[in-house]
Structure 1
Amino acid sequence: MTENSTMTFETETLQKHMVKCFIWMFVGLAVTALVAYVFIATGAISEIMFQATYASGMSLSLVMLLPLFLQLGVVIYLTSRLEKMSVMTSKVLFIVYSIVTGFTFSFLPAIYGLDNMFLAFGFTAVLFGSLAVIGGTMKLDLTKYSSLIFGALITLVIISVVGIFLNIGTLDMIICYAGLFIFLIITAYDVQKIKRNYEYARSSSEALEKLSIYGALELYLDFINIFLYVLRILGKKK
């Protein structure tokens, strides 16, 4: 096999791996949307909110925090145990995460309205798609700046927590735009990270299969966070 044919084979394999990551991301988004729709259309979310807030005495904020903690637990477990778990287990956990997120998202129409949600989804799809293409084609290696990007993310989290207690409208809007910008950069970074991880694991089909789920989860989280920041911006402008 010549050098040129070897390079072509590797490029096609990388493309196939990238496509698999995005397909799994779309599967996760579809599951989330379907679960949210079922809860909203059947009125189940209203019943859950009533039972949780009135019958059990829990506040709505606490009800919404429970699935968020479950989501965080699934992400931590999946990322920390990826090498040891089976491919099937990683896929199941990813779907479970998508389902829990769908339940969480079923609360959003009552807060922001369906019109804003559809508009936010459209903006998110354009923004996410643009940065994914940029990340996959740009020559600048963003993975070299992982510490800087991670630091910006931690700073955003800290400021967001402080913003909750201060409850200043202007600060919250700044946080939304800053969060949107940071996750757009992270989207491009994660696309490059998928390509870098492929280089490390291309000799193992099982490792690549697991990494396709891990890559899909990262892209899924990027899309979800961009969507939430766009939705908050649109909700405040309403």
Structure 2
Amino acid sequence: MNDFNRGYARSIPADRADMSVDAGLRSFMLGVYNKVALGLVLSAALAYLTGTFAPIRDLLYVTQVGADGVTRAGGMTILGMIVAFAPLGLMLISGFAMRNPSPRSSGMLYWGLVSLIGASLGLVVLMYTGASIFQTFLITATAFGGLSLFGYTTKKDMTGFGSFLIMGLIGIVLASLVNIFLKMPAISMIVNVLGVFIFAGLIAYDTQRLKMTYYALENDHVGQGVATNYGALSLYLNFINLFQFLLALFGDRR
């Protein structure tokens, strides 16, 4: 799939995109951030629903009630596993099916993925305390704002840095798959720490890439509509992954 089909136009030099006061760019980025924010609200609502509403929770998760009366996750049902892996399947299918995405189809993809990911986050609600989830979310939101601002304002071209981050992401995915069988706490710790740094960097990188995309598609309103949805998806996924890695490192389990 080419760059445009991922919601990005071909990159242009970073100094070409150094136009922070451009009203059109502000409007474009505001559209992206609004979708990310609404996506996070929807995900939080679905996570709370699937993690606390017993009729739905019990369809997705195997739960255990401890001696303290607290309900904890004991595993996932078959339906829960389907919901958890559905976002990956949907992304793979869309990569082949959506060769020339429209704003409507890319928007449907975004909200479909956000809904599925939100539903699967009920496991987080069952694993960690509410206070821990809330505190980690605030930390993630603060970090996201600062990192995205850096990516938006920096004059340094982050293309090479982004390629390095993608390689690191592939590495931690492979390490995580291997550790499913090895179950070594040391590897989990390393993956979590690296995950925080990688997704922190990707937030800044994807923000700059969106900025450059806007100028490459300056007179293409349809292309900008697609880029808004794919850009929101990239930043949303970065936020969710950063949140989960931080929670794994510092969160208090039930």
Range class of TM-score, shorter chain: 0.7 to 0.9
Offset at 1:224?
Answer: 0.3
Name the one with the larger strand percent.
2
Is there any run of 5+ residues in structure 2 with no aligned partner, and where? 1-17, 64-74
Q: Which moved more, 1:124-133 or 1:113-122?
A: 113-122
Q: Alpha carbons of 1:170 and 1:162: their partners in 2 closer, same or farther (altered >3 Å)?
A: same
- What corresponds to 2:105 in structure 1? 89
| Aligned mates of 1:44, 1:33 — CA distance in 2 | 18
Alignment of 1:73-112 (within 5 A): 73-78=89-94, 84-112=100-128
Which of 19, 23, 27 is residue 16 of structure 1 equivalent to?
27
- What corresponds to 2:224 in structure 1? 208
- What corresponds to 1:3 in structure 2? none
- What corresponds to 2:154 in structure 1? 138
- CA RMSD after TM alignment: 2.6
| Aligned mates of 1:173, 1:8 — CA distance in 2 | 40
Offset at 1:198?
Answer: 1.2
Q: Which moved more, 1:102-111 or 1:9-18?
A: 9-18
Q: Alpha carbons of 1:24 and 1:49: their partners in 2 closer, same or farther (altered >3 Å)?
A: closer
Identity of aligned residues (%): 27
- What corresponds to 2:42 in structure 1? 31
AA paired with 2:166?
F
| Aligned mates of 2:227, 2:36 — CA distance in 1 | 12
- Is 1:191 the counterpart of 2:207? The answer is yes
Q: Which moved more, 1:7-16 or 1:204-213?
A: 7-16
AA paired with 1:216?
A
AA paired with 2:124?
L
Q: What whole-Å deviation, never above 9, does each CA across 1:28-72 have from its counterpart, x for those lacking one? A: 1111112222334432333214689xxxxxx62754432232101
Name the one with the larger helix percent.
1
Which of 160, 166, 178 is residue 182 of structure 2 equivalent to?
166
Offset at 1:83?
Answer: 5.7
Q: Alpha carbons of 1:80 and 1:134: their partners in 2 closer, same or farther (altered >3 Å)?
A: farther
| Aligned mates of 1:75, 1:21 — CA distance in 2 | 19
Q: 3-state DSSP class of the match of 1:141?
A: coil
AA paired with 2:187?
L
Aligned residue pairs total 226
Offset at 1:75?
Answer: 2.7
| Aligned mates of 2:146, 2:94 — CA distance in 1 | 28
| Aligned mates of 2:115, 2:53 — CA distance in 1 | 16
Q: Which moved more, 1:216-225 or 1:89-98?
A: 89-98
Is there any run of 5+ residues in structure 1 with no aligned partner, and where? 1-6, 53-58
- Is 1:154 the counterpart of 2:170? The answer is yes
- Is 1:45 the counterpart of 2:61? The answer is no
